[in-house]
Structure 1
Amino acid sequence: MNTQDVDAVARLIAAIGSATLGPYLCGLLDGVVGYDMSCLYLFRFDQPAELLHDGYRGQVAVRTLDAYSRGGYLLDPFYVASMNRHPGGLWHMSELAPDSFFSSGFAISPDLHPCVSSTHGTQIDEIGYIVHLQTRTALVFSLMKAQEHGAFDEAEVAYLQRLTPLVSATLEQHGRHLPRHLETAGADSQLESAFVGALGQLTEAQRHIAKLLLQGHSNASIACQLGISEGTVKVHKHNLYQRLEISSHAELFRLFIGYIAQAGR
């Protein structure tokens, strides 16, 4: 480790517990990893996502960040992985995302997903560290690269992997400095209140399936998740569409986003 690296680590340690932690995390990457945006979020079950480091560099509208924090985060694979106690460490978005995620309403919505590009079908390369603080509470530090800049290459990913112990330990310590309101309400609940509110007229089973559909799961993926046949999923899907008086996934997504927008007023 050279003097420059030692200085970067020293600055990072000094920033633990302060609002400057994000920029110093990014400082570890200077000249080694190319990226267009970065962010650090605090995720808690059924609580608004909290942006602790805004490294979007002015490329994302405030209204988009607000919509994401109010409820859009519920469809983010990093949030879902964090709440399902997916192993911590460094993960590509594509490793966490359900099979139909990149064609889902969330992934292509410029008003909800704070990504570099919202072109339909575009897979923005996003890579991030998941650090669990306690049950259904995690910090996620992620980096995003625009479509025109390609994916993170092998050397960049290898460097980020080598940083995992340092980044994880730093974020764990940072979590100790966060306010002690981290304990989440409704610890036994399996469905966030936004899903219950938007899909209240459905049965519990139908709400669960609607949630998985919104998060980007196909019928086959839902069947695998729930241990039921794909035919049963289709029946539930047909029935929940009838109850909601809709006829497509796009309408289901608009209904959910409309609920989030109304709740934020």
Structure 2
Amino acid sequence: MNNQEASKVAGVIAAVGTGNLGQRLCTLLESDIRFDMSCAYLFRFDQPAVLLHDGYKGMVPAKTLSAYLRGGYLLDPFYVACMNQHPAGLWRMSELAPDSFFSSGFAISPDLHPCVSSTHGSLVEELGYIVPLQPHTAIVFSLMKAQNHGPFADGEVRRLQTLTPVVSAAFEAHWRLRPEESAEAADKPRSQLESAFVDILQGQLTDAQRYIAKLLLQGHSNASIAHLLGISEGTVKVHKHNIYQRLQISSNSDLFRLFIEYISQAGR
């Protein structure tokens, strides 16, 4: 480690427990890695997401970021991975996303997803560090690259992987030094945001149908849902038909529209 890199690591250490941690980590990483945006979120089950670091550099409209924080994050593969106790470390969005995610309403909606991380004509590629803090609580620190700059190169990914212990230790220490955030997570009554995921369907669908609707919104195909639930694709199709019929809709796009309407009402 040379003097310049040591100075940057010292800057990260000094920023732990402050609002500058994300920026100091970016300063450490950007000497070797080309990225265009960054962000860090605190994700907790049935609690609002918290934006810990805004490195969007004004490239994300305030309306989009607000919609994401109001509930759009519930469809984010990084959030879902954290709630399912996914292993810590550096992950590509594409490694976490369901099989039909990149053609889902969430992935292609610039009004809900701050970084539109799709390989199908997207604006960016996203890599994220998952830092588990306690059950159903984690921080995700993400780096995003514009499509015209190409994907993250293998050498860049290897370099980011070598820095995983630094990023993880920094955010773990940050969490311990932010007692107000820890107390809020432990003591605040659940906002039921995870449950509200399908509140728009309450009274209209069975529990099984609501869960399948949730998987559809997250970007799972019929085959993926069948595999997860241990049922046949034919049974999934029957469930989908009944879901559409009960909600008086005809497609996954219509289901996503209902979710968008719910998120919009939550902000009023």
User: TM-score interval w.r.t. the shorter chain?
Assistant: over 0.9
What pairs up with 1:119-158 in 2 under 5 angstroms? 121-122=121-122, 124-158=124-158
CA distance in 1, matches of 2:215, 2:168: 29
In structure 2, the partner of 1:254 is: 257
For the residue of structure 1 that corresponds to 2:95, the secondary structure is helix
**Cα 1:186–1:49 shift into 2, 3 Å:** closer
The answer for the alignment partner of 2:198 in structure 1 is 196
1:49 counterpart = 2:52: no
> Following TM superposition, by how much is the alpha carbon of 1:118 offset from its aligned partner in structure 2, in angstroms?
7.9
Gaps of 5+ in 1: none
> Structure 2: 5+ residue runs without aligned partners?
none
Change (3 A) 1:67 1:164: same
- Partner amino acid, structure 1, of 2:244: Y
- Percent of residue pairs identical: 69
User: Structure 2 length normalisation: TM-score?
Assistant: 0.94
SS of 1:144 mapped into structure 2? strand
Structure 2 CA distance for partners of 1:246 and 1:182, relative to 1, 3 Å: same
State the partner residue of 1:169.
Answer: 169
Which amino acid is the alignment partner of residue 50 of structure 1?
V
Question: Matches of 1:44 and 1:83 in 2, distance apart?
Answer: 8
1:111 match: 111
Inter-partner Cα distance in structure 2 for 1:127 and 1:11: 23
* Residue 158 (structure 1) shift: 0.6
CA distance in 2: counterparts of 1:212 and 1:84, whole angstroms: 14
Give the letter for the 2:245 counterpart. Answer: Q
Q: Deviations over 1:66-105 (max 9, x none)?
A: 0000110000000000000000100000000000000100
Aligned partners of 2:60, 2:161: CA distance in 1, in Å? 27
What is the identity, as a one-letter code, of the residue corresponding to 2:197? F
The alpha-carbon distance between structure 1 residues 255 and 92, as it changes in their structure 2 partners (threshold 3 A), is same
Distance in 2 (CA, whole Å) between partners of 1:181 and 1:53 is 18
Q: How does 1:28-39 map to 2 (within 5 A)?
A: 28-39=28-39
CA distance in 1, matches of 2:99, 2:54: 29
What secondary structure is seen at the aligned counterpart in 1 of 2:264? Answer: helix
How many pairs are equivalent? 263
Matching residue within 169, 181, 185 for 1:182: 185
CA contact (8 A) 1:194 1:260 kept: no
Correspondence for 2:214 among 211, 214, 228: 211
Question: Is the 1:116–1:144 contact (alpha carbons within 8 Å) kept by the matching residues of 2?
Answer: no
RMSD between aligned alpha carbons?
1.9
Q: Aligned partner of 2:54: which letter?
A: D
Aligned AA (1:103): S
For 1:88, the equivalent position in structure 2 comes to: 88
- Secondary structure of the 2:128 match is strand
